[in-house]
Amino acid sequence: MDNSKNTQKKSNIRALVESAIFIALAFVLSFVSIYKLPQGGSVTLASMLPIIIIGIRWGIGWGLGSGIVYATLQMIQGFYPPPVPTAFNYILVVMLDYYIAFSVLGLSAILRKLKYGIIISVPVCLFLRFLCHFVSGFIIWGVYAPDGVFPAVYSLTYNGSYMGVEIIFSTAIVVILYKILPKKYLSPLV
């Protein structure tokens, strides 16, 4: 085996190991919640930050893949069955509230070459996650809206109540990490 193939193999092994460690860290951090809402959603100890870091360090493929694995773990941890009459709507909720919502965290890779890419990517990726929950809340979960409250307003309020805090909290943590950690830990490797 030539040297470039050997180097690529080592790089893939390192990416796999780091991704596994960061997914596990994200999963553990998701259990540390400041508060939880009744139909799902919580403010955690920056549990999505490790998935964003994978995208920054290893690129979009590893970031999206890690988001999908993390989404599966989140469903195992606590799946909230949607109030839907059809299988299509059920699949829509699974996709919007889990697989797409957590996969977008890997889109941090798009901003990874910017000077402050890691800091910029946290609010951007978490806002994209919020949009997934907002659409799901409006389309599906809006049945929980109090009488006289439009489902979009209910969804904005419900999902904004935890995602807004999560965005602020996670951004503050990444700024602190950016200041105290050596830059190599929050920078692209490939």
115-149 pLDDT, tens digit each: 999 999 999 999 999 999 999 999 998 888 999 99
Instruction: Report the pLDDT value the prediction gives residue 83, as an integer from 0 to 100.
Output: 77
pLDDT band at 102 (very low <50, low <70, confident <90, very high): very high
Indicate the DSSP class of residue 146.
Answer: P
Q: Where are the domains of the chain?
A: 3-186
Q: What is the pLDDT of residues 170-185, one digit of tens each?
A: 999 999 999 999 888 8
Residue pair 36/24 in contact (Cβ under 8 Å)? The answer is no
pLDDT band at 187 (very low <50, low <70, confident <90, very high): confident
The radius of gyration computed from the CA coordinates of the chain, to the nearest angstrom, equals 18
0.75 exceeded by pTM: yes
pLDDT at 2 over 80: no
* Mean pLDDT, rounded, of the chain: 92
Distance of CA 31 to the CA centre of its chain: 14
Instruction: Report the pLDDT value the prediction gives residue 161, as an integer from 0 to 100.
Output: 96
pLDDT band at 50 (very low <50, low <70, confident <90, very high): very high
Instruction: Report the pLDDT value the prediction gives residue 154, as an integer from 0 to 100.
Output: 96
Compute the average pLDDT of residues 78-104.
90
Residue pair 129/96 in contact (Cβ under 8 Å)? The answer is no
Instruction: Report the pLDDT value the prediction gives residue 51, as an integer from 0 to 100.
Output: 98
Instruction: Report the pLDDT value the prediction gives residue 1, as an integer from 0 to 100.
Output: 53
Instruction: Report the pLDDT value the prediction gives residue 188, as an integer from 0 to 100.
Output: 84
3-186 classified as CATH 1.10.10.10: no
pLDDT band at 166 (very low <50, low <70, confident <90, very high): very high
The span from the CA of 130 to the CA of 190, in Å, is 29
Compute the average pLDDT of residues 12-25.
96
Residue pair 84/90 in contact (Cβ under 8 Å)? The answer is yes
Residue pair 158/141 in contact (Cβ under 8 Å)? The answer is yes
More confident: 141 or 103: 103
